[in-house]
Structure 1
């Protein structure tokens, strides 16, 4: 295998998977630099104008949404640019087919995230590790602040899933499938994308080794929804309500960060190993248990939807623009031997 073959796939007429990921990093860095130079002082000015016009609560909520939208916009735009011109993919091949089945799966993900976090809250409450000290805080401007949280977590759920699962996991699986087979490639790609996901949260406030490992496990849970359906509907929905209910409803920290508004105000105690302490429930062993339960629920859902548990071919077989063999995800059915 010559140097050119190591970097270029002649059959697919595009760079190899590792080079595609490197090019995505380069595109993202260039867009981030350009955006920071162009919008450095703009957000501060927007916040000042909003505070003067609508008050502090609206300004805080809008500033948070705009900040996340800026980050998410850079990540999403760079991913779509790299996907179109480097990967040669259709937009739908990032896991956003957005048909009726997509929204049904997304609804399941939304319900699952809310249900898992509610279960954790009830377990903490029954064990005496959480004490409710108030409700609907802060009172002033709560509705606006809560809507801001919904916007923030929606944006985070979309762009983090697009990057970690839609792009990174897919490219890793495609690059490895010829070496270790379909199952080995998907397992390795899931591990790689989940490790990146965990390390991305390793510098958050109150992060520990256990919290990083737990976020890696969360990455595996989220990846299961993508691997088994070929769409990001389940992981996006799950990601959104897992964060929203953890912080905005039950008042826990979200990956070590306070959210500034919650339906329930709590004080937590109990062993940090089980509860996650100041990082939030997802960093404790009970949170990891909830992730295992969530992964099992996703598998059951996928089996109910398709009649079998199988890796969706869209994860390992690209549907390339202007060439390549297409995978019709809408008409795909698992093979009998799977």
Structure 2
């Protein structure tokens, strides 16, 4: 529980800079780079100095292929959610944005948020609980904390916090459990935020995008569309994320039964 509390505090501190405006692209890039470097630096200190081991979960040789795999999974998941909503008449494109700023959301809400949250919640919280008590307590506790830190977001409710805990907290924990790679988690998380907000025009965790490529409306019941919180508050997203989590767990179990090692 102490580890979880520390993670929540660090997460809240990180949110402070994520919401701060930046006046130029170079400054924004430098700002994100410094904080990402600090997150990686702190993690490598914990692993190499305190735990005295090599951080295989962040091995640089895995960065490109595992991040790409996570991105691919995120594209399929978010694309499936939006596609299903569109087929059901609950996602209607009304135009395209002419003033989309691609760099800021990609760096801040994509790269920056994904790296910091994954280092904290999967790299520290999930991993240490998994090593101490096993995967199921790790999934439950880390997902609970991940959903809990979003309760203070704009338009958040108990349901949306539960939804994020299940769809993102559980799914990203499963991704780490199966791959033992933070890069895969970072890739999925990054493209989730970027696609949902900047491309498809949905609020992300209750925060409306500054601008989006597709300008869209989400007619339909809140339980289906997620309402003002965004598609992360949709029952559909929860179900599809659970389906993907189950498929990954089954694939991982089958892989291990064949005698393969990571």
| Class of the TM-score when normalised by the shorter of the 2 chains | 0.7 to 0.9
Measured after TM superposition, the shift of residue 67 of structure 1 is: 5.9
Change (3 A) 1:298 1:238: farther
Q: Deviations over 1:278-330 (max 9, x none)?
A: 11111110110121232144346646xxx6257xxxxxxxxxxxxxxxxxxxx
Q: Deviations over 1:166-197 (max 9, x none)?
A: 11111112222xxxxxxxx2110111111111
Is the 8 Å Cα contact of residues 248 and 263 (structure 1) preserved in structure 2?
yes
Is the 8 Å Cα contact of residues 198 and 213 (structure 2) preserved in structure 1?
yes
1:155 maps to 2:112: yes
Q: Deviations over 1:46-100 (max 9, x none)?
A: 73xx4xxxxxxx59xx54x66655655554443333334333333x24x112325
Change (3 A) 1:22 1:290: closer
Aligned residue in 2 for 1:193: 142
Is the 8 Å Cα contact of residues 67 and 184 (structure 2) preserved in structure 1?
yes
Change (3 A) 1:276 1:130: same
Is the 8 Å Cα contact of residues 24 and 78 (structure 1) preserved in structure 2?
no
Change (3 A) 1:25 1:302: closer
SS in 2 for 1:105: helix
Aligned residue in 1 for 2:94: 133
1:79 maps to 2:43: yes
SS in 2 for 1:262: coil
Q: TM-score, normalised by structure 2?
A: 0.83
Partner residue of 2:102 out of 146, 149, 159:
146
Aligned residue in 2 for 1:292: 242
Aligned residue in 1 for 2:81: 120
Q: Distance in 2 between matches of 1:275 and 1:291?
A: 15
Aligned residue in 1 for 2:230: 280
Aligned residue in 2 for 1:111: 72
SS in 1 for 2:103: helix
Change (3 A) 1:169 1:245: same
Q: Distance in 2 between matches of 1:66 and 1:72?
A: 10
Q: Over alpha carbons, which structure has the higher Rg?
A: 1
Is the 8 Å Cα contact of residues 276 and 283 (structure 1) preserved in structure 2?
yes
Partner residue of 1:257 out of 207, 211, 225:
207
Is the 8 Å Cα contact of residues 28 and 74 (structure 1) preserved in structure 2?
no
Q: Distance in 1 between matches of 2:10 and 2:37?
A: 10
Partner residue of 2:158 out of 194, 198, 209:
209
- Alignment RMSD: 3.3
Q: How many residues align?
A: 255
Q: Distance in 1 between matches of 2:247 and 2:95?
A: 32
Is the 8 Å Cα contact of residues 155 and 206 (structure 2) preserved in structure 1?
yes
1:1-338 aligned at under 5 Å gives the runs 21=3, 47=23, 50=24, 58=25, 63=28, 72-90=36-54, 92-93=55-56, 95-99=57-61, 103-135=64-96, 137=97, 139-140=98-99, 142=100, 145-152=101-108, 153-176=110-133, 185-217=134-166, 218-299=168-249, 302=252, 308-309=255-256, 333-334=260-261
